[in-house]
Structure 1
Amino acid sequence: MAAAEKLAHLPGDAPIQFFDLKAQQASIRGALETRWTTILDHGRYIGGPEVDECEQKLCEFTGAADAVVVGSGTQALVMPLIALGYGHGDAVFIPGFTYNATANAVLLAGATPVLVDIDPATFNMDAADLERKIQMVKGNRNLRARAIMPVDLYGLPADYAALESVADAHGLRIVADAAQAFGGRQGNQWIGTLAEISATSFYPTKTLGGYGDGGAIMVRDKEVGDLLRSIRWHGTGDNRKESIRVGINGRCDSIQCAVVSEKLGIFEEERQRRIQAASIYNERLTGKVDGQVVGANEESAYGLYTVRVPDRDGVRASLQEKGVPTAIYYDTPIHQMPAFEQFAPPGGLPECERASREVLSLPMHPYLSEDQIHRVCDALLATLQR
């Protein structure tokens, strides 16, 4: 049965959920219970065989040379910066429109975030503004331009060709924040191989989520993977009794690895369902509502389906009255948050600020029915026509 047919046969009269983890759990619960019994029997709750299995399956799916599972998506961002040796005086360029974890990761590593505006069509880092910010840092004697941390927002890969061109011109490394984007790709390359180092999150509502916190770092170089494994376990070597470098507790529990491995078994089916759901949204809304632009040679993972609307808060309230849940990712750009306002660039970030006023995310998960998606579109279009 094709993905479109599977989507059409799901029940349409049930209440619409923004995320639906219960439906997914029902499809794999028996297998999960078997896995949990196995973990209880072997008793290796941290560092069990499930960890190796999960890392191998991540490599098989993405084509990465290595994958290192960790305790959270934030750890997956911090650890590569530690591995690359970044710290005081090192500038890491991040988009100003993202979750606060991106900025926190840079600061936790001891480096300085430099905020870059976004492309209004994709919501991802704007390569032209990145170039301007690099030139600004080069004029600052207290900072060294070292790395770029693009975010694959809502599931859409950043413009890696453009970003790599800038990075190569200035000798910068790229560490990708792919927390929302496992399952996206450009051409024949999956997220996980589009940058030399890519971090993703296993937070439950992500495209590949566990049942708690977790994450993974996917790399092109196996030696980097080995270094990250040491950092993951307090910088220890093979005997784990003494630190040979500075590290952290970045371990992921065996139970979360078991959940992620089981979900990888149904991931492609779920990915196709997300694509089908997005295609219905696109058919109904294109030309009537501005949405995230996905290029011809790329696929979004559709961690979120996000549009721009006028009077966003009023539209959201109206949809809620109609039984349509929505969410806002994000209503405050990084440079306007109290913790990070010291890093606000002169003149602000106009496109980040505009997006924060306009974006609205609609229900998106693999267990939406076609009828439910049409109900969302009907409600949204009716609200906009008032």
Structure 2
Amino acid sequence: MEFRDLKKQYQVLKSEIDANIAEVLTSARFISGSQVKELEQKLAEYVGVKHCITCGNGTDAITLAMMTWGIDEGDAVFVPDFTFFSSGECPAYEGATPIYVDVEKDSYNMDPAKLEIAIQKIIAEGKYSPKAVVAVDLFGRPADYAKIRPICHKYGLLLMEDGAQGFGGSINGKMACSFGDISTTSFFPAKPLGCYGDGGAIFTDNDEWAAVLRSLTVHGKSGDDKYNNIRIGMNSRLDTIQAAVLLPKLEAFKKYELAAVNKVAEEYTKRLNNSCLTLPIIPDGMISSWAQYTIQLPEKTDRAGLQAHLKSFGIPTMVYYVKPMHLQGAFEGMASSRADCEVTEHLCKCVLSLPIHPYIEKEDVEIVCEHLLEYIDE
């Protein structure tokens, strides 16, 4: 059993993917080939924004957003404490101070009430200048933008949506990666929409920012002239082969994969619903892209023992995340490490992610649930 079965997906899409890769090899347009522009247009249309700028990976996407906004030393950027390292690493790399905010226990996403408390505290202290919020769509579920955006507006903060795990999710028909002033995603292979290497994208409706972002991805070039450099940028482009891979995968994602993975999640929930496990909740009007199906184990459960038990039956599991952001060694001794994030610390001790992808068989879900409940009931 695969945690996320990229092998099965490739077999289903093999003819289209192979033909697209062969076309790139024949044309030898390995950088900035026509497939990149085509993909950007289709991604922007799907998400519902004016501009999509692809780049080297999801981490670069966040960094490029920070660069575009001029995030710098002395700035405070508010980030959920329960997330992958990139969400806070990128603001810190630009010299800013990540301020970690606790998350909601049921959604795993930034708690809007605690966000406002954190902003007020930073303003009162007067040491840092609040500049932006990085809201993460964790495990495929979009953050609570109906509450987060008014808070950003109230305090004059820019809103960045980290949709690395959220691509394909939506709230009342509005798609993930369209909620931020700038939004980003990752095409890491295991993501809801993944390529066969590294890749990322940035989304915005702002024409000026889009132009700056395109410049920054190619060494700060001026327009189409990469030898006339008007700002300090970086080298972060999506390879044409990766775009060629993503084009048929995007079509499959839209046509049936998103619906299929939601049916898998429904099957898990149905089979585990009457147990002592805490299951993911998706509110009415919201769709998750199910980057992960993450449960919370009962208190005092031997998580490592459970993982070993499941592994003995060929069932892979993962823990996202073992350590809160504010306790990462990179932030030791910094203001970022001083965070009151009780919910995050609890989640790090009890979460467990189960195999989920559009191609998993119903029988496999049954096997996972059977052996999971077998251990829990003991």
TM-score strictly above 0.5: yes
User: Equivalent residue of 2:53, what SS?
Assistant: strand
The one of 293, 300, 309 equivalent to 1:318 is: 309
Q: Distance in 2 between matches of 1:125 and 1:37?
A: 43
Residue in 1 aligned with 2:132?
147
Residue in 1 aligned with 2:186?
201
Report the Cα offset of residue 344 of structure 1. Answer: 4.4
Q: Distance in 2 between matches of 1:31 and 1:144?
A: 50
Distance 1:70 1:346, change over 3 A: closer
The one of 285, 289, 294 equivalent to 1:301 is: 289
Q: Map 1:222-301 to 2 at 5 A.
A: 222-238=207-223, 239-268=225-254, 269-288=256-275, 289-301=277-289
Residue in 2 aligned with 1:4?
none
Residue in 2 aligned with 1:380?
372
Structure 2 residue 32 is the aligned partner of structure 1 residue 43: no
Residue in 1 aligned with 2:157?
172
Q: Distance in 2 between matches of 1:110 and 1:65?
A: 30
* 1:326-357: CA deviation from partner (whole Å, max 9, x where unpaired): 00011111111111233445463111110000
Residue in 2 aligned with 1:327?
318
User: Equivalent residue of 1:319, what SS?
Assistant: helix
RMSD: 1.3
Q: Which amino acid is the alignment partner of residue 290 of structure 1?
A: T
Residue in 2 aligned with 1:338?
329
* 1:294-351: CA deviation from partner (whole Å, max 9, x where unpaired): 1112011101000001322222222112322100011111111111233445463111
Residue in 1 aligned with 2:354?
362
Q: Map 1:53-132 to 2 at 5 A.
A: 53-132=38-117
The one of 342, 349, 373 equivalent to 2:341 is: 349
Q: Which amino acid is the alignment partner of residue 306 of structure 2?
A: V
The TM-score, its normalising length taken from structure 1, stands at: 0.93
Q: Distance in 2 between matches of 1:230 and 1:335?
A: 33
* 1:35-74: CA deviation from partner (whole Å, max 9, x where unpaired): 1222122222111111101101101211111101000000
Q: Distance in 2 between matches of 1:222 and 1:42?
A: 31
Q: Which amino acid is the alignment partner of residue 230 of structure 1?
A: S
The total of aligned residue pairs comes to 371
Q: Distance in 2 between matches of 1:91 and 1:120?
A: 24
Structure 1 unaligned runs (5+)?
A: 1-15
Structure 2 unaligned runs (5+)?
A: none
* 1:208-250: CA deviation from partner (whole Å, max 9, x where unpaired): 0000000001112233222210111111112111221221111
State the identity %. Answer: 36
Q: Distance in 1 between matches of 2:330 and 2:274?
A: 38
Q: Which amino acid is the alignment partner of residue 316 of structure 1?
A: Q
> 101-110 vs 196-205, which deviates more?
101-110
User: Equivalent residue of 2:222, what SS?
Assistant: coil
User: Equivalent residue of 1:150, what SS?
Assistant: strand
* 1:180-219: CA deviation from partner (whole Å, max 9, x where unpaired): 1110000010112122211100000001000000000111
- Is the Cα–Cα contact under 8 Å of residues 166 and 177 in structure 2 kept in the other structure? no
* 1:235-289: CA deviation from partner (whole Å, max 9, x where unpaired): 1112111221221111111111111112111012111110000000111112421
Q: Which amino acid is the alignment partner of residue 323 of structure 1?
A: G
Residue in 2 aligned with 1:213?
198
Q: Distance in 2 between matches of 1:240 and 1:123?
A: 42
The TM-score, its normalising length taken from structure 2, stands at: 0.95
Q: Distance in 2 between matches of 1:81 and 1:286?
A: 41
Q: Distance in 2 between matches of 1:165 and 1:317?
A: 45
* 1:169-188: CA deviation from partner (whole Å, max 9, x where unpaired): 10111011110111000001
User: Equivalent residue of 2:130, what SS?
Assistant: strand
Distance 1:130 1:37, change over 3 A: same
User: Equivalent residue of 2:198, what SS?
Assistant: coil
